[in-house]
Amino acid sequence: MKKRKQWILLFCIALTVCLASGAMLYVRQKNNNKKWSLIYIPKTEDGTNDFWTSLISGTRMAAQECGASLTILAPEREQDVERQNEFLAEAIEENPDAILFSPSSFDASDELLQEAKEKGIKITFIDSYTESNIQDMTVATDNLEAGKLLGEYARTLLNENSRIAIVSHVKGVSTAVEREQGFREGLGDYNKNVVEVVYCNSLFDKASQLTEALIEKYPDLEMVAGMNEYSAVGAARAVQKCGKEGGIQVVGVDSSQEAVQLMEKGVFKGIVVQKAFKMGYLGVMETVRMLKGKPYDENVNSGCQLVTPENMYSSEIEKLIFPFNVLGAD
DSSP string of 81-101, one letter each residue? HHHHHHHHHHHHHH--SEEEE
Mean pLDDT score across all residues of the chain? 90
pLDDT: is 246 or 176 the higher one?
176
Q: Would you say residue 84 lies in a domain? A: yes
| Averaged pLDDT, 135-141 | 97
Residues 102 and 152 in one domain: no
Alpha-carbon distance values, 132 to 14, 42, 98, 109 (Å): 47, 18, 18, 10
pLDDT of residue 34: 86
Q: Would you say residue 223 lies in a domain? A: yes
The rounded Cα 246 to chain-centroid distance in angstroms is: 32
Residues 122 and 242 in one domain: no
The rounded Cα 63 to chain-centroid distance in angstroms is: 18
Boundary (domain end) residue, out of 274, 293, 311: 274
Residues 196 and 77 in one domain: no
pLDDT of residue 1: 55
> Residue 170: pLDDT band by 50, 70, 90 thresholds?
very high
Q: Would you say residue 288 lies in a domain? A: yes
Residue 64 phi, psi dihedral angles, 5° rounding: -65, -40
> Residue 16: pLDDT band by 50, 70, 90 thresholds?
low
Residues 233 and 112 in one domain: no
pLDDT of residue 329: 40
The rounded Cα 200 to chain-centroid distance in angstroms is: 18
Residue 96 lies in domain = 36-140+276-302
Alpha-helical regions (H) of the chain: 2-33, 50-66, 81-94, 110-118, 143-156, 174-187, 204-217, 229-241, 257-264, 276-291, 315-321
Residues 56 and 67 in one domain: yes
Q: Residue 210 sits in a domain of what CATH number?
A: 3.40.50.2300
Helix (H) or strand (E) holding 195: strand 194-199
pLDDT digits (tens, 9 = 90+) for 219-263: 999 999 999 999 999 999 999 999 999 899 999 999 889 999 999
Asked whether the predicted pLDDT for residue 10 surpasses 70, the reply is no
> Residue 25: pLDDT band by 50, 70, 90 thresholds?
very low
Q: Would you say residue 97 lies in a domain? A: yes
Q: Which amino acid is at 25?
A: L
φ/ψ bin of 197: left (φ > 0), alpha (ψ from -120 to 50), beta (otherwise):
beta
Q: Would you say residue 17 lies in a domain? A: no
pLDDT digits (tens, 9 = 90+) for 92-102: 999 999 999 99
Residues 225 and 213 in one domain: yes
> CA–CA separation, 249 vs 22, rounded Å?
65
Q: Would you say residue 176 lies in a domain? A: yes
Q: How many domains does the chain have?
A: 2
> Residue 26: pLDDT band by 50, 70, 90 thresholds?
very low
Asked whether the predicted pLDDT for residue 152 surpasses 90, the reply is yes
